[in-house]
């Protein structure tokens, strides 16, 4: 009996060793492959490779390689975020595919980049990060794989727009990148790709297959990624392949929903937008059960011509749903989105509703889309607005929007960072796309748009070659154009190109400094200060801090001036220190800080015993700087004010703001409405430029009275406190203090 027990124990031990030994070998082999550098790191987020951004993470530029083996992959936007997230940061992570990347435009026109700017204006005192993880031609399989890593970054919100790629995107039912029809096997394959051993096996098998078949698939394919990723093109509505694609989307989204719900992260899930009015079906297939897509599209056009809009809408949607080439999500996808939101209590973002309400008769076409699914520039702003409204209504960032810094959408569009170059590259990318399948039959005749198009202007040629040539890009085109404008003394148009670059490359400080320099030459000191301070967020510099300090000195914001000069000293070389210290001495002297001024004097004498100290007489001149782009209008308005023609002055100033939102025009409007006793409007315009003119006693006087008139004693108190600091001898100070005291009784 004892021997039997011993044999049994030995058998169990032997069995355990037989099981564990291969696992140990695999683990050791995995570690060895990692040590020797074989394979790829497919983490969604990686440490930023540049030393100056060492405290940041970035979306892995090569994460797409995990999901694309047959075809090339695109890179995600280079959004960065703090490695160690402070509690003060509100982090938003955005998920999706080519629409979310902003195709056919550059990163400045991604809806997430627009949304970031929109949120910063609405919540100016909040630190907001918006991280876009999208790459082209992925679907719910990839996004499901992303979610655990997204949640690890502790976002305050996740924004999700995806569903058009369920059939042809990576691992889709009709995709060249599909490795199985079984959803479980696909998800297992994706998970295993994180291991170098599995990567080695996959690479070896792929090499064998190519050798046996004598096939170089990547070299043989041509056309756009959209054309090359499709394997099984024709997918009939209701067919087995169609059902598999829909079921996969539902199952993957259920899995995503459960992970996000467990993590208790607010999830903003948008329905999908497509071109129904102006995009005929790519492929019309008729069956015994279904009429063709062309039938419904023709019927819809006839109904539209007869002004039967509701019926036309229904038939346009049916034509889209029955299209045999499935690059547009059907109604079934949008129904799943609604169902998931209802089931899990997620925030349903009705982007489709925004697009329909901005389309004649609710019929979305080329008015808002570039082709079948990708928004045009106006559409990108609408998409951003749909998510902005959803976020702000939930009051996640703050209890309320700062309505004095927030701007209406049309105004925001007009002043956002894009130019004609952005419009043109989008146009060329879409034209190039439409020369390929499924927009045209390439088998009969192959035409390369890039070989036949002749640019019609210098700007057009810059945009075209940025699209057509691999060694060109739109950022270089913007830069070339900006430098040309600067050389010709056209600083206004140079600024617009630099502004576009600051939205395309929001972490690259030199473009912010270039934009600021243009505004300095245009006499716009508040605008220049804004861009100098933005440039110091990611790459503080002597030049930006010194220039910002000089501007703050002129605007009589002495604490800010001193702070900038102190920071400039951290970057100053020996030749620059004397200039900074002199400015700092002046600022301390103006502020009445005698001890600090004497200390600075001592530092200066250590550098130059013969230095002559000259204190310029202090005269407030900040409100005399009028930006060149609106100078004729503002000067005309000032003349009208002097003549007592307030109404026409207001009209001229309001029109100037539509051209360029200058601080001086807003101040003049605030003062004019004050004189006309329209205190709500006065307060609105004065509040917009409070930070610009808080060094001026007269402005603060107006601000106190306008604030009290609008029942905002806290704002009045803020202005009074500032006046006591900047102008303690202002004659009206006791009277203003009494007004506030009486109000608070």
What torsion do the CA atoms of 380, 382, 383, 389 make, to the nearest 10 degrees? 140
What pLDDT score was predicted for residue 464?
A: 96
What pLDDT score was predicted for residue 228?
A: 72
Residue 387's contacts (CB-CB under 8 Å, 6 or more residues apart) are: 111, 115, 159, 268, 270, 349, 351
Token pair of 101 as six digits: 């990347």
Compute the 3-state secondary structure of the chain and give helix, strand, coil in percent, each to the nearest 5.
60, 5, 35
Mean pLDDT, residues 16-25 taken together: 68
CA-wise closest residue to 157 among 115, 101, 125: 115
Token pair of 94 as six digits: 């955005």
Q: Is the pLDDT of residue 725 over 70?
A: yes
745 DSSP 8-state letter: -
Q: How far apart are CA 707 and CA 713, in angstroms?
A: 6
The per-residue pLDDT for range 470-527, each reduced to its tens digit, is 888 999 999 999 999 999 999 999 999 999 999 999 999 999 999 999 999 999 999 9
Beta carbons of 398 and 366 less than 8 angstroms apart: no
The per-residue pLDDT for range 420-435, each reduced to its tens digit, is 999 999 999 999 999 9
- Supply the angle between the helices 663-675 and 697-709 in degrees, to the nearest 10: 60
Residue 273: HSE in the Cβ half-sphere, 13 Å Cα cutoff = 34
Determine phi and psi for 369, rounding to 5 degrees: -125, 150
Mean pLDDT, residues 296-300 taken together: 98
Mean pLDDT, residues 695-720 taken together: 95
Q: Is the pLDDT of residue 406 over 80?
A: yes
Mean pLDDT, residues 633-657 taken together: 97
75 DSSP 8-state letter: P
What pLDDT score was predicted for residue 709?
A: 95
Give one DSSP letter per residue of 707-742, joined into a string.
Answer: HHHTT-HHHHHHHHHHHHHH-TT-TTHHHHHHHHHH
CA-wise closest residue to 673 among 710, 621, 639, 620: 710
CA-wise closest residue to 404 among 634, 719, 130, 682: 682
CA-wise closest residue to 132 among 165, 171, 106, 166: 106
H or E segment to which residue 562 belongs: helix 558-569
Q: Is the pLDDT of residue 312 over 60?
A: yes
Q: How far apart are CA 347 and CA 728, in angstroms?
A: 51
What torsion do the CA atoms of 622, 627, 633, 636 make, to the nearest 10 degrees? 40
Q: How far apart are CA 337 and CA 712, in angstroms?
A: 43
Beta carbons of 325 and 283 less than 8 angstroms apart: yes
**SS3 for 92?**
strand
Q: Select the more confidently predicted residue: 93 or 172.
A: 93
Q: Is the pLDDT of residue 404 over 80?
A: no
Q: Is the pLDDT of residue 239 over 50?
A: yes
Distances from the Cα of 463 to the Cαs of 317, 420, 468, in angstroms?
Answer: 35, 9, 9
Least trusted range by pLDDT, from 40-44, 92-96, 213-217, 459-463: 213-217
Token pair of 692 as six digits: 């610009």
Mean pLDDT, residues 94-115 taken together: 97
What pLDDT score was predicted for residue 18?
A: 59
In the chain, % of residues over pLDDT 90: 78
Token pair of 313 as six digits: 């809408």
What pLDDT score was predicted for residue 200?
A: 84
> H helices within 193-292, ranges in order?
196-213, 217-220, 225-228, 240-263
What pLDDT score was predicted for residue 10?
A: 53
Q: How confident is the model at residue 218 (pLDDT cuts 50, 70, 90)?
A: very low
The per-residue pLDDT for range 149-161, each reduced to its tens digit, is 999 999 999 999 9
Q: How far apart are CA 536 and CA 510, in angstroms?
A: 10
What pLDDT score was predicted for residue 334?
A: 98
What pLDDT score was predicted for residue 39?
A: 80
Residue 676: HSE in the Cβ half-sphere, 13 Å Cα cutoff = 19
Q: Is the pLDDT of residue 30 over 90?
A: no
What pLDDT score was predicted for residue 447?
A: 86
Mean pLDDT, residues 438-463 taken together: 90
pTM of the model: 0.91
**SS3 for 169?**
coil
CA-wise closest residue to 449 among 468, 462, 466: 468
H or E segment to which residue 647 belongs: helix 646-659
Q: Is the pLDDT of residue 214 over 70?
A: no
Beta carbons of 534 and 512 less than 8 angstroms apart: yes
Q: Select the more confidently predicted residue: 554 or 447.
A: 554
Q: How confident is the model at residue 140 (pLDDT cuts 50, 70, 90)?
A: very high
Q: Is the pLDDT of residue 55 over 50?
A: yes
Beta carbons of 616 and 604 less than 8 angstroms apart: no
Q: Three-state secondary structure along 579-631?
A: HHHHHHHHHHHHCCCHHHHHHHHHHHHHHCCCCCCCCCCCCCCHHHCCCHHHH
Q: How confident is the model at residue 174 (pLDDT cuts 50, 70, 90)?
A: confident
Give me the residue label for tokens 């995107």: 169
Q: How far apart are CA 329 and CA 9, in angstroms?
A: 60
What pLDDT score was predicted for residue 517?
A: 98
Token pair of 103 as six digits: 């195709």
Give me the residue label for tokens 């130059």: 608
Token pair of 726 as six digits: 């900047």
Token pair of 374 as six digits: 């990708």
Q: Is the pLDDT of residue 178 over 80?
A: no
Q: How far apart are CA 300 and CA 231, in angstroms?
A: 31
Residue 512's contacts (CB-CB under 8 Å, 6 or more residues apart) are: 502, 531, 532, 534, 535, 544
The per-residue pLDDT for range 525-539, each reduced to its tens digit, is 999 999 999 999 999
Mean pLDDT, residues 297-326 taken together: 97
- Supply the angle between the helices 240-263 and 183-192 in degrees, to the nearest 10: 50
Q: Is the pLDDT of residue 6 over 60?
A: no
Residue 695: HSE in the Cβ half-sphere, 13 Å Cα cutoff = 22
What pLDDT score was predicted for residue 217?
A: 45
What pLDDT score was predicted for residue 221?
A: 45
Mean pLDDT score across all residues of the chain: 92
Residue 516's contacts (CB-CB under 8 Å, 6 or more residues apart) are: 527, 528, 529, 530, 531, 532, 535, 544, 547
- What is the DSSP pairing of strand 56-59 with strand 267-270? unpaired
Mean pLDDT, residues 288-307 taken together: 95
What pLDDT score was predicted for residue 400?
A: 87
What pLDDT score was predicted for residue 629?
A: 95
Token pair of 163 as six digits: 């569903």
């Amino acid at each position: 009996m004892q021997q039997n027990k011993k044999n049994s124990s030995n058998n169990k031990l032997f069995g355990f060793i037989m099981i564990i030994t291969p696992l140990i070998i695999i683990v050791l082999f995995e570690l060895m492959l990692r040590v020797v550098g074989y394979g790829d790191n497919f983490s969604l987020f990686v440490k930023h490779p540049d030393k100056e951004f060492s405290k940041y993470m970035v979306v892995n530029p090569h994460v797409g390689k995990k999901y694309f083996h047959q075809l090339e992959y695109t890179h995600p936007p280079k959004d960065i975020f703090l490695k160690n997230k402070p509690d003060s940061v509100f982090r938003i992570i955005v998920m999706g595919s080519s629409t979310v990347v902003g195709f056919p435009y550059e990163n400045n026109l991604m809806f997430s980049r627009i949304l970031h700017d929109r949120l910063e204006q609405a919540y100016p005192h909040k630190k907001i990060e918006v991280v876009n993880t999208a790459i082209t031609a992925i679907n719910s399989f990839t996004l499901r794989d992303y979610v655990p890593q997204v949640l690890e970054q502790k976002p305050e919100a996740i924004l999700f727009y995806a569903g058009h790629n369920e059939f042809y995107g990576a691992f889709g039912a009709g995709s060249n990148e599909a490795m199985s029809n079984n959803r479980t096997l696909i998800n297992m394959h994706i998970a295993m790709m994180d291991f170098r051993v599995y990567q080695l096996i996959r690479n070896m098998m792929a090499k064998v297959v190519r050798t046996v078949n004598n096939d170089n698939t990547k070299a043989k394919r041509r056309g756009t990624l959209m054309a090359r990723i499709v394997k099984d093109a024709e997918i009939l509505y209701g067919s087995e392949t169609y059902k598999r694609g829909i079921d996969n989307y539902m199952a993957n989204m259920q899995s995503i929903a459960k992970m996000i719900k467990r993590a208790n992260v607010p999830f903003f899930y948008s329905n999908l937008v497509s071109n129904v009015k102006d995009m005929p079906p790519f492929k019309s297939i008729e069956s015994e059960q279904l009429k063709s897509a062309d039938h419904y599209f023709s019927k819809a056009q006839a109904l539209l011509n007869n002004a039967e809009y509701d019926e036309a809408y229904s038939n346009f949607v049916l034509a889209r749903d029955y299209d045999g080439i499935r690059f547009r999500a059907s109604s079934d996808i949008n129904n799943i989105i609604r169902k998931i939101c209802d089931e899990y209590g997620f925030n349903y973002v009705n982007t489709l509703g925004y697009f329909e309400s901005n389309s004649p008769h609710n019929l979305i076409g080329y008015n808002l889309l570039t082709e079948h699914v990708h928004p045009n520039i106006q559409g990108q702003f609408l998409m951003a607005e749909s998510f902005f409204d959803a976020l702000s209504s939930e009051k996640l960032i703050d209890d309320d929007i700062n309505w004095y810094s927030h701007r209406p959408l049309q105004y925001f569009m007009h002043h956002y960072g894009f130019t004609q170059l952005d419009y043109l590259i989008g146009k060329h990318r879409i034209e190039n796309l439409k020369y390929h399948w499924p927009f045209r039959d390439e088998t009969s005749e192959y035409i390369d748009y890039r070989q036949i198009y002749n640019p019609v202007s210098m700007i057009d040629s810059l945009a075209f070659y940025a699209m057509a040539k691999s060694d060109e890009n739109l950022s270089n085109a913007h830069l070339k154009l900006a430098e040309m404008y600067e050389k010709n003394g056209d600083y206004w148009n140079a600024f617009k190109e630099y502004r576009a670059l600051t939205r395309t490359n929001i972490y690259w400080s030199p473009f912010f400094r270039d934009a600021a320099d243009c505004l300095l030459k245009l006499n716009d000191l508040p605008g220049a200060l804004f861009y100098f301070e933005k440039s110091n967020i990611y790459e503080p510099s002597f030049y930006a801090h010194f220039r910002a300090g000089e501007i703050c000195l002129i605007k009589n914001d002495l604490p800010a001036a001193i702070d900038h000069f102190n920071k400039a000293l951290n970057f100053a070389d020996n030749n620059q220190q004397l200039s900074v210290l002199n400015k700092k001495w002046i600022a301390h002297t103006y502020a009445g800080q005698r001890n600090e001024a004497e200390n600075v004097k001592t530092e200066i004498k250590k550098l130059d015993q013969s230095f002559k100290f000259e204190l310029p007489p202090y005269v407030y001149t900040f409100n005399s700087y009028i930006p060149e782009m609106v100078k004729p209008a503002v000067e005309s308005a000032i003349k009208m004010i002097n003549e007592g023609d307030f109404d026409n002055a207001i009209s001229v100033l309001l029109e100037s703001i539509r051209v360029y939102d200058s601080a001086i025009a807003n101040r003049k409007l605030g003062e004019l409405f004050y004189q006309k006793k329209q205190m709500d409007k006065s307060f609105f315009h004065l509040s917009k430029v409070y930070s610009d003119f808080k060094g001026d006693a007269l402005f603060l006087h107006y601000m106190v009275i306008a604030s009290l008139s609008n029942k905002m004693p806290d704002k009045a108190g803020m202005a009074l406190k500032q006046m006591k600091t900047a102008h303690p001898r202002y004659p009206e100070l006791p009277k203003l203090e009494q007004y506030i005291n009486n109000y608070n009784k």
